[in-house]
Structure 1
């Protein structure tokens, strides 16, 4: 038991230490405004987004400090998405409504829509934004300015995640926990290795020439997890990518129900953690560092177990405060980690609906 508890302490201490280092690295991210003749094309793929598209476009139009255009790709919507955008475009020449062509065989839906958005964009930079994201007025300016200042071909950020229900608290916080607790940001910025490529598909800015030279979304046409996959494709093509703090650049409420969150995170799990070699390793790291210490507390409240539990909670608290997530979600921390692992294992073992992946009603075979 002593050896096990010491192992748990190490597994809890690793993400705690890395989170401290990562937050220090990110705190030194420069805030450089765009320079020269910069035009940011804000590109929004939209499929049945009548509830979201109006506020998303309004937030994009409020951008300051840089010239913008807003292109919305209506991708086979059966609701009022197109009508809403068409009405808004009639009063603002910066808005363009595009109709997506039929989905080409071998492509996934969102990637297909983003590819065709890029073909119509006129900007020096493309800012891909999900319809449930609300940009702040300085987001386009600072993201394009950061790309220019650092030479990065792709700059991404995780928007501030809005969570209002226990179902969201059990799923959404895993995004920032995994990024800040397990991705060494210093190495990501120092090394061009594709393995350090990471991005959030909700909010990604790319430099036009780098996007074209890397193959853009066409190079990942059959994939779903566009954040990770596009960042790695850029790096394989010789372009650096970067992640910057996003809690003051945009906000997003991804899901409102637990079932939607489960299905949403399942759709790209097989391109992330849910792999035969990777998932057992992740299970040891996450279960040992964030779940077992709490499970053992009533049985063996020794100093390594107590320390491991406190370190795990400290890690989660640091991430939550830094990203301005709902602090109530900290109370469910070990259950959030368990839920994340359950999603990944259900996809790897192809249990139930996890046998199929998809986006907005489209289904694709997994693996």
Structure 2
């Protein structure tokens, strides 16, 4: 048990050190200059009547840079198109365009984003999900950050709004993985495509670079644009970057546990849920965040080293606390941290091991091969 506690401590120290380095890197970026050209805010929308109005109000309130806002209606069966058309009649900066039928080999979001990219006229293309609310300075800040870093793509995680327990035990994994396990200083120094990462909710791309690499057409079959698009750009010799985005936008991804499970499951096979990656992630995440509280309990019952187990648990919770405060997430999720990680691993193993006949992902009324 003592050896196991020492291993847990080492595995908890790793994300603690990376988190410290990453938070320092994100805080010490030079001030972004004023962006040098217009920004096209591009929103793929499929049955988003409940979201699209506030999202457009926030986008159209952007300051500091000229904007155009384009919504691609992806065959919505609700009032999405009507709501957009009504707002567009009052504001010439907004356009509504229809998405053609989905071609074979494409996923829906990538196809809608491809259509948006072809219609856009801005120097920078800012792709946001229909549930993302931009801050007034959000578009200008992202474009300025791209110019300051000389980056073809800049992304960040919006402040994640969670309202139910099901969201609070699932959504925080986004920031834990990015800030606890991606070495951002190394990402900025090396061109390795494997270090490329983005949050698909909020992605700004320089228009010429985007079109040069084929844009979303280069990842047409993917369900994980946040992973795939930065890597396409990096393989072309271009730079990508991450910024702190909690004050640039907000997003409420899901409204309950069932939605969260389905949403994170749909792209699991392009993330951790592969036969090679998942055992490694299970060791890293399970050993560093799930095992420590179990070892503390065992030590209190007389088995193992309490100091080592307590230190591992402390590092795990301090790491999660630092990430939560930095990303301005709900602090009440911190005590739930071991459960959050355990559920994330259960979701990934479920995606990997479910029967072949269930090896499909259904999202927004469409079904795709899962992996």
Whether 1:29 and 2:33 are equivalent positions in the alignment is: no
Per the TM alignment, residue 354 of structure 1 is displaced from its structure 2 partner at its CA by 6.0
Cα deviations across residues 97-156 of structure 1 (Å, max 9, x unaligned)? 011000000000000000000110011110000000000011111111111122100000
Counterparts in 2 of 1:177 and 1:322: CA distance versus 1, 3 Å: same
- For structure 1, which runs of at least 5 residues remain unmatched after alignment? none
Write the distance in 2 (CA, Å) between the matches of 1:290 and 1:296: 11
Per the TM alignment, residue 165 of structure 1 is displaced from its structure 2 partner at its CA by 1.2
Per the TM alignment, residue 33 of structure 1 is displaced from its structure 2 partner at its CA by 3.5
Match of 2:82 in 1: 83
Whether the aligned pair in 2 keeps the contact of 1:109 and 1:359 (CA below 8 Å) is no
Cα deviations across residues 155-189 of structure 1 (Å, max 9, x unaligned)? 00100000121101110000000111100010011
Q: Normalising by the residue count of structure 2, what TM-score does the alignment of the two structures yield?
A: 0.97
Match of 1:7 in 2: 7
Question: Which structure 2 residues correspond to residues 22-61 of structure 1 after superposition, within 5 A?
Answer: 22-36=22-36, 38-61=37-60
1:300 is paired with a residue whose SS is helix
Match of 1:349 in 2: 353
Match of 2:334 in 1: 330
Per the TM alignment, residue 298 of structure 1 is displaced from its structure 2 partner at its CA by 1.7
Counterparts in 2 of 1:354 and 1:179: CA distance versus 1, 3 Å: farther
Whether the aligned pair in 2 keeps the contact of 1:33 and 1:65 (CA below 8 Å) is no
Write the distance in 1 (CA, Å) between the matches of 2:370 and 2:336: 30
Per the TM alignment, residue 358 of structure 1 is displaced from its structure 2 partner at its CA by 3.6
Match of 1:179 in 2: 178
- For structure 2, which runs of at least 5 residues remain unmatched after alignment? 301-305
Write the distance in 2 (CA, Å) between the matches of 1:363 and 1:280: 27
1:291 is paired with a residue whose SS is helix
Write the distance in 2 (CA, Å) between the matches of 1:354 and 1:30: 48
1:155 is paired with a residue whose SS is strand
Whether 1:317 and 2:317 are equivalent positions in the alignment is: no
Whether the aligned pair in 1 keeps the contact of 2:70 and 2:120 (CA below 8 Å) is yes
Whether the aligned pair in 2 keeps the contact of 1:161 and 1:172 (CA below 8 Å) is yes
RMSD: 1.2
Whether the aligned pair in 2 keeps the contact of 1:110 and 1:359 (CA below 8 Å) is no
Per the TM alignment, residue 244 of structure 1 is displaced from its structure 2 partner at its CA by 0.3
Cα deviations across residues 233-273 of structure 1 (Å, max 9, x unaligned)? 11011111001001000000001110000000001110010
Match of 2:213 in 1: 214
Write the distance in 1 (CA, Å) between the matches of 2:145 and 2:289: 34
Match of 1:232 in 2: 231
Match of 2:309 in 1: 305
Cα deviations across residues 187-209 of structure 1 (Å, max 9, x unaligned)? 01111110100000000000011
Question: Which structure 2 residues correspond to residues 214-293 of structure 1 after superposition, within 5 A?
Answer: 214-293=213-292
Whether the aligned pair in 1 keeps the contact of 2:58 and 2:134 (CA below 8 Å) is yes
1:299 is paired with a residue whose SS is helix
Write the distance in 1 (CA, Å) between the matches of 2:343 and 2:128: 27
2:298 is paired with a residue whose SS is coil
Per the TM alignment, residue 353 of structure 1 is displaced from its structure 2 partner at its CA by 9.2
Whether 1:17 and 2:21 are equivalent positions in the alignment is: no
1:265 is paired with a residue whose SS is helix
Per the TM alignment, residue 355 of structure 1 is displaced from its structure 2 partner at its CA by 2.2
Write the distance in 2 (CA, Å) between the matches of 1:357 and 1:110: 14
Question: Which structure 2 residues correspond to residues 60-209 of structure 1 after superposition, within 5 A?
Answer: 60-209=59-208
1:364 is paired with a residue whose SS is strand
Deviates more, 1:266-275 or 1:357-366: 357-366
Whether the aligned pair in 2 keeps the contact of 1:266 and 1:343 (CA below 8 Å) is yes
**Number of residues of Structure 1 aligned to a counterpart in Structure 2:** 366
Cα deviations across residues 280-314 of structure 1 (Å, max 9, x unaligned)? 00000011000111012121141110100111010
Write the distance in 2 (CA, Å) between the matches of 1:35 and 1:225: 28
2:151 is paired with a residue whose SS is coil
1:137 is paired with a residue whose SS is coil
2:47 is paired with a residue whose SS is coil
